[in-house]
Amino acid sequence: MSAPVFTNDTVVFGLLMLSLGFVFYTESLKGGFWEKFYKIIPGLFMAYMIPAMLTTLGLIAPEWEATEIKNGAEILVHHKTSLYYVSSRYLLPAALVLMTLSIDLKAVFNLGPKALIMFFTGTVGIIIGGPLAVYLISLVSPETVGGAGPDAVWRGLSTLAGSWIGGGANQTAMLEIYGYNQKLYGGMVFVDIVVANLWMAVLLFGIGRSKKIDNWLNSDLSAIEALKKKVTTFSKKVERNPSLTDLIILATIAFSTVGFAHFAGGYLSEVFTSFVKGIDSETTRNMFTFLESEFFWMISISSIIAIILSFTPARNYEGAGASKFGSVFIYILVVTIGMKMDLTLIFANKGLIIIGLVWMSVHALLLIIVAKLIKAPYFFLAVGSQANVGGAASAPIVAAAFHPSLATVGVILAVLGYAVGTVGAIITTLLMQIVSP
């Protein structure tokens, strides 16, 4: 790639934030063109696509080559922006800490077994749906799910597993752990946006007919009313106007955890690298190469510490906006990923869309079957699914569509998704690797 118009990271970051601010501002406008626009085109999709368009137009670039003169001779120098590295190594684990900090395992279990059953049913649906989709497509078009090395499709699909079990943070973790060719990553992002948002549209469509669906499921709705009261009480209890001290403590919790995670992750990476290299079987060794990744350990340690902190008074900092700041970091990560996209490669493998649709169909079918068997309310089905597929960005939207006071339920389940997302995605990826041609 030739040198873009803007090569200074500070300038590029300003452009990325300008594009992100544009999306959020226009999405907040009520009435008129923009409200109609975002009913068709999701804001998250635009957060990816605007930086991608800037890259496609040659204004910015994730990396490029330029001729420079050194010692009187012309040489070709490779340049690479550091924005993605900073976002993925510092802001990503910080986001995981802030978004997991508020998890209340006791409150989650108090939601009733059906809520958790539907959530984990959605997780299992993604775990088995991925390899099943890869296998079925391989019978018809093996080249669609082929590839070798960094170009292997199963590596790219691992990012979908991370996104559809946890969210953007887990998606990026899988991109780093399995080293998919980032020049092809735009195609996976496109599949993620199209398929996930199509399914969300189906869920929202069903909310308008939830009474009929609940009648068909023979659901007991008494738990829903109890949830409304519980969530409303919790929200009022922790909500407050954050002080400067609150914000500093939030930053301290997030980035001190990130610092420790980097330190411990580096140590564990070295230990497990020696362990994995000592495995005789190449197949077994390849299945556990993720243990060599410092990034994997950094993400895992950050999540574990956050879960531990959630049992302390630190969880009350959710009232000071912990998850909101985490979301800001995630969206900064989103735009840095977006600038990596080469739009000309999006449709290089149209079969990826079919894989995504088959995958999501397995997820949906399993949810419907289990909901019918246990007579779970449609609320649990919809929020349990979206907590997996959409994460904290959209699960509250689906929950609030039932009742505004239930938005926090979506957040709680979505945070649970962040906690289990990377592990679940790794299991999915190992299975996809096994069935890939």
Instruction: Spell out the domain ranges in the chain.
Output: 9-81, 85-435
Distance CA 342, CA 57 (A): 10
The pLDDT confidence band at residue 132, using thresholds 50, 70 and 90, is very high
Is 200 in contact with 394 (CB distance < 8 Å)? yes
Q: Which residue has the higher pLDDT, 309 or 307?
A: 309
- The pLDDT of residue 170 is 72
Q: Which residues, including other chains, have CB under 8 Å from residue 18's CB and lie 6 or more apart? A: none
Is 390 in contact with 398 (CB distance < 8 Å)? yes
- The pLDDT of residue 106 is 65
- The pLDDT of residue 318 is 81
Res 342 pLDDT > 70: no
DSSP class per residue in 365-403? HHHHHHHHHHT--HHHHHHHHHHHHTGGGTHHHHHHHH-
Res 112 pLDDT > 80: no
Q: Which residues, including other chains, have CB under 8 Å from residue 67's CB and lie 6 or more apart? A: 74, 75, 76, 77
Q: Which residues, including other chains, have CB under 8 Å from residue 205's CB and lie 6 or more apart? A: none
Mean pLDDT rounded to a whole number for the chain: 82
The pLDDT confidence band at residue 17, using thresholds 50, 70 and 90, is very high
Percent of the chain residues past pLDDT 70, beyond the cut: 86
- The pLDDT of residue 392 is 62
- The pLDDT of residue 188 is 82
Distances (CA, A) of 386 to 4, 45, 102, 377, 409: 38, 17, 19, 15, 11
Res 311 pLDDT > 70: yes
Is 291 in contact with 178 (CB distance < 8 Å)? no
Res 124 pLDDT > 90: yes
Give the helix ranges, DSSP H, for 239-339.
244-277, 282-287, 294-309, 322-338
Res 408 pLDDT > 90: no
Mean pLDDT, residues 86-92: 87
- The pLDDT of residue 411 is 67
Distance CA 296, CA 308 (A): 18
Mean pLDDT, residues 263-270: 91
The pLDDT confidence band at residue 278, using thresholds 50, 70 and 90, is confident
pTM check: above 0.85:
no
Res 66 pLDDT > 80: no
The pLDDT confidence band at residue 23, using thresholds 50, 70 and 90, is very high
Is 406 in contact with 227 (CB distance < 8 Å)? yes
Res 227 pLDDT > 70: no
- The pLDDT of residue 127 is 94
- The pLDDT of residue 21 is 96
